[in-house]
Amino acid sequence: MSARKPSSHFLFLWAWPIVLGVLTAVGLVAALFSDDGWGDVLAGICLAIPTATGIWYGWLRRSPRTLPKAD
Amino acid sequence: MAFFDLNFMQNTTIKAWAWVHKWSSLVCTVFMLLLCLTGLPLIFHHEIGHLLGTEIEAPPMPADTPRVSLDEVLSVARAQYPDRVVQFASPGEDDDNLWFVTMTPTPEPTTDFRSVVVDARTGELLAQPRFDEGFMWIMFKLHVDLFAGLAGKLFLGFMGLLMLVAIVSGTVLYAPFMRKLSFGTVRRERQTHVKWLDLHNLLGIVTLVWLLVVGATGVINTWADLVIKYWQHDQLTSILQPYQGQPTVPQAQRASVQQSLDVAHQAAPNTKLYFIAFPGTSFSSPHHHTFFLKGNEPLTSKLMWPVLVDAKTAQLTAAPQMPWYVKTLLLSQPLHFGDYGGRPMQIIWALLDIASIIVLGSGLYLWLRKRKTAPKAMTQTNNGVNA
């Protein structure tokens, strides 16, 4: 890990959290601007992705990949 | 950026953040667990109402059925409770063929209220539901103010602020804990507490923005009473200047409420009535019927415009624009309730709420376990980070 450049290590840590955070924010705001329309659909999709991510990594995924990364 | 990189993050800095995270969480966790648990049924309060049969429905009639005067509706309500006054009246949220009339002993804010539901077309008394009892009422009160009024609200608001501190500090600590683990790693094959630490980090980071928004808007909601009070002081004082020294307009001297409603609608076209606050109540003045109108576009339907109509003369007094701080309060409500994006959003709200319960519970478990086994155990689980 120490061989990585700081910027790639930053992305290694934060790429997923940032993507999920942005999706959540877009989802929360989108539905404010719509009534049963495209905004609600967009919001549903944007908010479902972080939720599904939590369920997938937390409970559904069972594979050797869960072993700690060898460094 | 470098701040979030362990190479640049000193051990003492991590320790300081860990201290902040530990104490801000410990103080608020029990209350946040309570809020998450009581909030869960509240997400579905409409559906639960339908299931329990407590939701009131107007009998079907042709859409063009003429409506009775609002004054008639109010007199039906008053006849049920001659010793009470009308505090608020509102059309049904989903069905404006219903009028909901709230009756209280005095115009002062109180939890002692009775509701009368009247058919807007026939003036027929449909129901007298008790919203102040039963399972959902207990959930609601525990969630909003712990049955302790404004003090309870402000207390929960302060606990909410601590949770926001816990979320921010937890996010900072995510970096040192996860620096060698790829996203989503849950080390099931290790000891129980390692697995729960990973789940805590995973669910914490997944719910991060949602919980920040729901937490912050919840905190803002606890200030609603104060914001409304300030708005009245800030915006209504000059409007009410000519009425100074006059008592609350007595019932016998009040003009027709139907006529006043028509005046309000003329003053603000393309709006829908949200509710009417009667003279002397917390959302009105002693001298006015105040009509709160909503826009009929997606965003404006979450905002309100107050129209003050003189209670004696039914003349328009003012229709002031809501200032930014009331708009902020109004927009923070849907963001907290999750009731603005249909059924999928409600389900996501519930799932993220459950995820937050797991984050809180696992955090508590990890702290209890660390206390029992400290300091040896945590040093091996943290990939060399001494938290």
The pLDDT of residue A6 is 63
The pLDDT of residue B384 is 42
Q: What is the DSSP letter of B13?
A: H
The pLDDT of residue B120 is 96
Identify which of B152, B197, B132, B259 has the alpha carbon closest to the alpha carbon of residue B383.
B197
Tokens linked to A49: 């992705």
| DSSP assignments along B291-340, one per residue | EEEEESSTTGGGS-EEEEEETTT--EEE-PPPPHHHHHHHHHHHHHHT-S
Provide the shortest C-alpha distance from residue B106 to chain A (in Å). 37
**pLDDT at residue B298 is higher than 90:** no
Counting other chains too, the contacts that B313-322 makes at CB distance below 8 Å and 24 or more residues apart are B313/B255, B314/B255, B314/B256, B314/B259, B314/B260, B314/B263, B315/B263, B316/B263, B316/B264, B316/B266, B316/B267, B317/B239, B317/B288, B318/B239, B319/B264, B319/B267, B319/B268, B320/B235, B320/B236, B320/B239, B322/B231
Nearest to A10 among B4, B302, B342 (CB): B4
Q: How confident is the model over B296-307, as a mean pLDDT?
A: 90
B5–chain A Cβ distance below 8 A for any pair: yes
B380–chain A Cβ distance below 8 A for any pair: no
The pLDDT of residue B74 is 97
Phi, psi of B306, deg, nearest 5: -85, 135
**pLDDT at residue B235 is higher than 70:** yes
Domain extent listing, chain B: 2-47+139-221+363-381
Cβ of A24 within 8 Å of Cβ of B209? The answer is: yes
User: What average pLDDT does the structure give for chain B?
Assistant: 91
Max avg pLDDT among B44-58, B331-345, B365-379: B331-345
Task: Report B:168-187 residues touching A (Cβ under 8 A).
Answer: 174-175, 178-187
**pLDDT at residue B7 is higher than 70:** no
More confident of the two residues A2 and B310: B310
Q: How confident is the model over B71-97, as a mean pLDDT?
A: 95
Of B70-74, B240-244, B256-260, B361-365, minimum mean pLDDT range:
B240-244
Question: What percentage of chain B exceeds 90 in pLDDT?
Answer: 78
pLDDT band at A63 (very low <50, low <70, confident <90, very high): low
Contacts of B338 in chain A (CB under 8 A): none
| DSSP assignments along A21-46, one per residue | HHHHHHHHHHGGG-SSSHHHHHHHHH
pTM (predicted TM-score): 0.87
Nearest to A44 among B184, B301, B344 (CB): B344
pLDDT tens-digit readout, B23-42: 999 999 999 999 999 999 99
Domain extent listing, chain A: 14-56
**pLDDT at residue B5 is higher than 60:** no
| CB burial of residue B147 (10 Å; 0-12, 13-18, 19+) | exposed
Task: Report A:30-59 residues touching B (Cβ under 8 A).
Answer: 31-37, 39-40, 43-44, 47-48, 50-51, 53-58
Q: How confident is the model over B363-382, as a mean pLDDT?
A: 72
Nearest CA in chain B to A20: B206
pLDDT band at A66 (very low <50, low <70, confident <90, very high): very low
**pLDDT at residue A3 is higher than 70:** no
| CA dist., res. B90 & res. B267, Å (int) | 19
The pLDDT of residue B98 is 96
Provide the shortest C-alpha distance from residue A60 to chain B (in Å). 11
Nearest to A31 among B1, B178, B340 (CB): B340
